[in-house]
Amino acid sequence: MRGAAMSLTAAASGLVVFLLSVSVVQGQDGWGLTYSSTEICAVKGSTVEMSCSYIYPSTWRGSVNRVEKTFWFTKWKDGKRVDLTTDSEYAGRVEDLCENNICTLRIRNLTESDSVKYMFRFETNQAGGKYGGSTGVTLSLTNLQVTSEYNLAVLSDQLS
C-alpha cells in the first residue's frame, strides 16, 4: 500500500468583545442605576449589548410612583435627551429591551460613529420623578479581526 497524505487547512475568523465588568451604582433616596459595564470594546460591523438596572421608591412625595418611560441616549437636541430608538443614525440597528427593571441596549452593525458614551434614563409619573446616570457606558470600536489557521498533515507508513 502506498503512503497517503492528507492535508486539512481551516481558517476561522471571529469577533472579540472586551468588557470592563465593573458595576457602577449611582443613587440617593431610593433612586439608583447600576451599569453592568462602564467600558466596552467591540469590532466594527458586530453587535453589542449593554445593560442597566434601576431602582426607584414605590411612593414619592406621598403618591404612588411608577415608571412610564425608559430610554438610552448619547446626545441632546433642543435641550432634550434624544432616545436612541428615535435617532435616525441608529434607525434599524438599535433595540431597547426592558424587563423587571433591567434595560439592555442592543446595537447591530456597529460603525465608527457609534464610539460614544451611552447613558440610561427613566422617568416616572411624578413631576420631577426622573433619574439618569451620567457615568454611562463608553463604547470603543476596533478594526481588529481574529484569524486562526490550522494545518493538519497525516502521513501513513508504507506496509510491506
pLDDT computed for residue 147 by the predictor: 72
List the domain boundaries for the chain. 17-146
Note the pLDDT of residue 11: 30
Which residue did the predictor score with more confidence, 157 or 136?
A: 136
Please tell me whether the overall predicted TM-score, pTM, comes out greater than 0.85 for this model: no
The CATH number of 17-146 is 2.60.40.10
- C-alpha cell at position 62: 406621598
What does the pLDDT average to over 86-104?
A: 97
Q: Which residues contact 92 (CB under 8 A, 6 or more apart)?
A: none
Those residues whose C-beta lies under 8 Å from the C-beta of residue 127, and which sit 6 or more positions away, are none
- Residue 146 is predicted with a pLDDT of 66
| Cβ atoms of residues 94 and 84 within 8 Å | yes
Residues in the chain, how many?
A: 160
Q: Dump pLDDT digits (tens) for 60-90.
A: 899 999 999 999 999 999 999 999 999 999 9
Q: Per-residue pLDDT for 151 more than 80?
A: no
Confidence of residue 5 (pLDDT cuts 50, 70, 90): very low
Q: What is the pLDDT of residue 92?
A: 96
Report residue 125 as a C-alpha cell.
409619573
Percentage of the chain with pLDDT > 90? 64
Convert the pLDDT of each residue in 101-141 to its tens digit: 999 999 999 999 999 999 999 999 998 889 998 899 999 99
Q: What per-residue confidence (pLDDT) applies to 154?
A: 56
Per the CB < 8 A criterion, the answer to whether 51 and 113 are in contact is no
pLDDT at 82: 97
SS3 22: coil
C-alpha dist (Å) from residue 124 to 42, 102, 128: 33, 15, 8
